[in-house]
Amino acid sequence: MISRYSRPEMARIWTLQNKYEVWREIEVLACEAQSLLGDSGITAEDAAHIRASADFSVERIAELEKTLRHDVIAFLTNMNESIGEPSKWVHYGMTSSDLGDTALCYLLTQAVDLLLEDLSRIEEICTRRARETRDMVCVGRTHGIHAEPMTFGMKFARWAFAIRRAQQRLLAAREVIAVGAISGAVGTYSSIDPFVEQYVCEKLGLTPDPLSTQIVARDRHAQLLAALATAAASAEDIALEIRALQKTETLEAEEPFTSGQKGSSAMPHKRNPIISERICGLARVVKANAQVGFDNVALWHERDISHSSAERVVLADSTIALDYLLNKLAWVLDGLVLYPQRMRANLDATRGLIYSSHILLALIDSGMSREAAYRVVQNAAMQVWEDVQNAQSGATLMQLLADDPSCPLDAAQLDEICQPEQFLMRVDAIFDRLC
């Protein structure tokens, strides 16, 4: 991922320096485990020496890899230069994937832990702002068309619930990916005792893979990438709603516009939702990368390395991009500017059409059939709709119905029915669930 969309803490996880530090720790732990077994020739003193002296240089490894064409061997060659004679016990009985896959899973747990912190922050913001705006009346929209009154707090609450589900999916994926495998060439432990795997995994906070055919099965990584993609999709859903609400014709909400910020090189008046648009754009990357995870599941026989090159890109890019866009989303949500007066103006813009469902029910309660009641309300509604769309002055839905002899409700009854608060009498149930 390019530096523009990388936050330092997440980006550091995917540096070569951090990866080699984890590789070194795994190799040292494996040596310590072998010394505890006492059947391979490595002594406690050897293991202690390896622990104290094992070192590496990113630059030296890169230099060696140019000739060796193998990153693990280049790493081991460089590290052994600092160890000396006991280096013969390093990587004893192991294969490259024992090191690489165990380290990768550990790096992914580091990345997921940061993402869980990001999600927790967004969930807290959405929950807090939902409570703040639980009584802020606005119009609900279906198909982009005004439907019925609701509260803006319901939008924040919906987002909070979505983020909670993202947290649950990511926690489940973390458990699936937090495994290690040190089982040898095709996973038979032919040259290494399972105790070594158990010891290393325990020290790293991982669980031994119950059966690794030299590699950890990639359905685990696919599940993680799917969880990342779903979290990105939920973030995109939120950002897209904010973009829609910030349109000039709507303008019920607006992402923060900071002091000194400029919205357009040509039009000084512009205040564009650029951060929300960036979130939507980066979410596409994370979602697309999930497909690579699915493609990586099917490998030849016990293993091949067709997955390796692809996941070096998508695992790092997806976690870095998601971390970045979640941080931006938290900033937008925390500072989201709301315009209640504009919400009210939009609520009234269709001259009472948004109350049609309650009028329909009131007519049914008065004794009319549903078909007859629907026809009465729709006939009046279509007349109002035409006036609104043509920007013509005209009566409200309530006024037309009050003058309609086929409507048994008088003006006072219609006025009582057509109050936004009548639609919100039971929303407390939603906010009780949020708590």
Distances (CA, A) of 345 to 134, 249, 339, 341, 342: 18, 11, 10, 6, 5
Q: Residue 40 pLDDT more than 80?
A: no
pLDDT (tens digit, 9 = 90+) per residue, 168-223? 999 999 999 999 999 999 999 999 999 999 999 999 999 999 999 989 999 999 99
Task: Give me the mean pLDDT over the 374-394 stretch.
Answer: 92
Q: Strand, helix or coil at 57?
A: coil
Tell whether the model's pLDDT for residue 41 goes beyond 80. yes
Give 267's pLDDT tier (boundaries 50, 70, 90): confident
41 DSSP 8-state letter: S
Q: Which of 53, 191, 264, 306 is catalytic?
A: 264
Q: Kindly give, in sequence order, each residue whose CB lies less than 8 Å from that of residue 319, ignoring residues fewer than 6 positions away.
A: 10, 13, 14, 108, 111, 112, 114, 115, 228
Q: How confident is the model at residue 394 (pLDDT cuts 50, 70, 90)?
A: confident
pLDDT of residue 343: 97
Check residue 81 and give its pLDDT.
95
Catalytic, 143? Answer yes
Confidence of residue 408 (pLDDT cuts 50, 70, 90): very high
Model confidence at 266, pLDDT cuts 50, 70, 90, reads confident
Q: Diameter of the chain by CA atoms?
A: 103
What's residue 372's pLDDT? 96
Which pair of tokens denotes residue 148? Answer: 């019925």
What mean pLDDT value characterizes the chain? Answer: 95
Place 253 in a pLDDT band, splitting at 50, 70 and 90.
very high
> Which neighbouring-strand residues pair with 141?
146
pLDDT band at 107 (very low <50, low <70, confident <90, very high): very high
Q: What is the pTM of this model?
A: 0.94
* Sign of the alpha-carbon dihedral angle for 245, 249, 251, 254: positive
The reply to whether 358 belongs to the active site is no
CA distance 14 to 197: 24
d(CA 360, CA 358): 5
What is the pLDDT, as a whole number, of residue 268?
85
Average confidence (pLDDT) over 47-72: 97
Q: pLDDT at position 269, please?
A: 87
Please give the sequence-ordered ranges of beta strands (E in DSSP) within 152-231, or none if there are none. Answer: 179-180, 207-208
Has residue 39 got a pLDDT over 90? Answer: no
| pLDDT at residue 289 greater than cutoff 80 | yes
Closest-CA residue to 384 (of 410, 368, 362, 404): 404
Of the CA atoms within 13 Å of residue 432, those in its CB half-sphere come to 4
pLDDT at position 370 over 90 = yes
Model confidence at 130, pLDDT cuts 50, 70, 90, reads very high
